[in-house]
A = this chain, B = another copy of it.
Amino acid sequence: MVSPNTPETPGGTERSSVAPRSIKDVVIRLAGNSQDGIQAVGGFLARLAGRSEQDVMTYMTIPSTISGGPSIFQVRMGTGDILSAGDRADMLVAFYQHSYDAHVSSLRPGGVLLYDSDHVKPVEEDRRFTSVACPITSATVEALGGTAKDKGKNMFVLGLIARIFDLDVAKLTTLIRERFAGKNEDIVRNALLGFDAGYAWPQNNLRDLFYRFEAIDQAVARSGRPQITLDGNSAIAYGFIAAGVRYGAGYPITPWSSIMETLRTELPKYGGIFVQCEDEIASISTALGFSYTGSVAITGSAGPGLSLKMEALSWATMAEMPIVVVNVQRGGPSTGMPTNVEQSDLMQAIYGSHGDTPRVVLAPKNVEDCFYTAMEAVRIAREYSTPVLLLTDQGLSSRIEAFDEPDLPKLMIDAKVDRSERSADFKPYPLDRVTRHAPAGSRIASGKYPTVTGLEHDELGHPTGSPKLHAQMNAKRREKIKALAATLPAPEHSGEAEGDVLLVTWGSNWGPGREALARVQAAGIKGGHMHIRHVHPLPNGLEAVFARYRRIVVAELNDEGVYGFGQLALMLRARLANPAIVSVCKTDGLTFKVSELVAGIARHIGHAALLESVGTARPSPLAAR
């Protein structure tokens, strides 16, 4: 059952005789319903890539129905840095007609359209792709025998893909066995039957769709540690554990919940406690109570829950109590678009509480960085006795990436609570030093026990109405954050050190940003890319860097606002008063496509040719040559 576009391959011919074509990377989009287990296929591919020292990145959509409904999983894998999940797909696997209808437009010219011919009737006239009709459903049922229905379709497709891209079958089989370890032996057998059937199918039906990833460039230094494959939310949860966090509290909300679920499950092993509270206010309150006992605790939520935490966060600044608050950003305002990505909570992170509340906001750039940013957030909270907000997003939360296993023996923090006796001159709020609370349980040599409070206070924590002390304490709280700013490393900066344009990104736009820079440079434009992880306070020294570019284009997933600037752009303009700072913003609930960034840059620097180039779709590397 081969489509008219692929040459007939007579059955029985030894396929191994065809030499695979070498490709650098490929974007495969699986489109079906969420019940079809397409996430599992993506998961296997991601973990395989991890074990093969390849790079991988995934992207998924969550259906708007409560359970079930159309869903996609997209995986990009290959050799070398994979920076984004890909604007368009090189291969589309369409399970249903609606999958085909909704996603065929995402396929690049020359790409492979593989569809379940039991369910899909593609537009016959459409000759842009290599169309492969495969009876996925019936072939699976046949392979597994009557009872299994079509439950193994995903494994059949995994087999297909493994054959087409010449993946390591031994490793994949191991992964399948590991995954179902402990489950009913039937399940493992069915999974492998499905896989094998899928793997065998091209052999007999489309011998020459056959690719292999380029060999890995051994010169590119790897850590030598194996790769691990996980999603952004898990990376944050384990980052906290590595940073010595043993206490936390939270309330469920998409897409934050999985962080709390992981911590609730994991912390007891480490002697810790995670409390599910009645709401987000109780959550941050409980977390602050934990911190008060001497160990930096964490809480988190998404937008609506963050709004509820603003009052207690203001207390944390006043009482100088360390805490880390995660915000897995989603589409706002209000309940908004709960399963879509957005970066519209930055200003709230910085300024959402009443009063002057200098605090710290960090944003990870990818899944690996989720781990390290979580660790850094805890370190800063502890060192500066301050609340720290960790702004990740819905895209990162569920995206799976493979990266070098962190060097745990070096990194792991053993955060012992210091309940040693404090000297007689102990003050919880010294004007000349950073606050170090004496957790309850610590004796104080003077016999005078400290008060921790949200009222303005003197050095001992006693409430004061003194104008002078209020001004001094405000300054103290501000200056410690400025002191932190002075220690921050210069942001990652690539490309030309001066030129026509500097693209500035934050959060998960890092990958598309880097790819966009490459494209801009390829068009002969002098440009650089800066990625800011420390979004507040900003690192020092940006003035000098920015001054070397004609235009600073800040790309972010939020609205351009009433003044025409995104949220980070607003802060950069406020700080630097540099009119060259402009914005590329969007709020369609989807991550930036590289082409959108390139187009935005082209428009801002008035580069017609570049703008035009964006319109022309580049052919897929899978295209028949």
Number of A interface residues at 8 Å Cβ cutoff, please give it.
79
Q: Contact partner of A589 among B318, B334, B470, CB < 8 A?
A: B470
A481 to B561: give the CA distance in the assembly, Å.
10
**A434 CB to closest chain B CB, in angstroms?**
15
Q: Contact partner of A348 among B335, B353, B478, CB < 8 A?
A: B353
For A537-576 the 0/1 string (1 means CB < 8 A from B) is 1000000000000000000001111110100001101111
- Check if A578 is an interface residue, CB within 8 A of chain B: yes
A587 to B456: give the CA distance in the assembly, Å.
12
- Check if A254 is an interface residue, CB within 8 A of chain B: no
- Check if A33 is an interface residue, CB within 8 A of chain B: no
For A456-498 the 0/1 string (1 means CB < 8 A from B) is 1000000101011011001100100110010000000000000
Interface centre among A332, A344, A579 (most CB of B within 10 A): A332
- Check if A135 is an interface residue, CB within 8 A of chain B: no
A543 to B154: give the CA distance in the assembly, Å.
60
Interface centre among A348, A454, A562 (most CB of B within 10 A): A562
B354 touches A345 (CB 8 A): yes
With A314-B304, A577-B578 as known contacts, state yes or no: A351 contacts B355, CB within 8 Å.
no
- B-binding segment of A48-56, A139-147, A242-250, A305-313: A305-313
- Check if A588 is an interface residue, CB within 8 A of chain B: yes
**A67 CB to closest chain B CB, in angstroms?**
15
**A148 CB to closest chain B CB, in angstroms?**
32
With A308-B311, A465-B339, A588-B471 as known contacts, state yes or no: A332 contacts B355, CB within 8 Å.
yes
A574 cross-chain contacts in B, Cβ below 8 A: 563, 565, 570-571, 573-574
Q: Contact partner of A355 among B333, B355, B358, B588, CB < 8 A?
A: B333
Number of copies: 2
Q: Contact partner of A310 among B338, B352, B465, B478, CB < 8 A?
A: B352
A336 cross-chain contacts in B, Cβ below 8 A: 318, 355, 454-456, 470
**A521 CB to closest chain B CB, in angstroms?**
27
A212 cross-chain contacts in B, Cβ below 8 A: none
A105 cross-chain contacts in B, Cβ below 8 A: none
A339 to B470: give the CA distance in the assembly, Å.
13
A347 to B64: give the CA distance in the assembly, Å.
34
- Check if A197 is an interface residue, CB within 8 A of chain B: no
For A313-349 the 0/1 string (1 means CB < 8 A from B) is 1110111000000000001111111111010110110
A589 touches B64 (CB 8 A): no
Q: Identify 5 new A-B residue pairs, CB closer than 8 A, beyond the known A332-B354, A344-B355, A563-B575.
A: A304-B311, A314-B333, A317-B333, A347-B347, A570-B574
Which residues of A are interface residues toward B (Cβ below 8 A)? 64, 302-304, 306-308, 310-311, 313-315, 317-319, 331-340, 342, 344-345, 347-348, 350-358, 453-456, 463, 465, 467-468, 470-471, 474-475, 478, 481-482, 485, 536-537, 558-563, 565, 570-571, 573-579, 581, 586-590
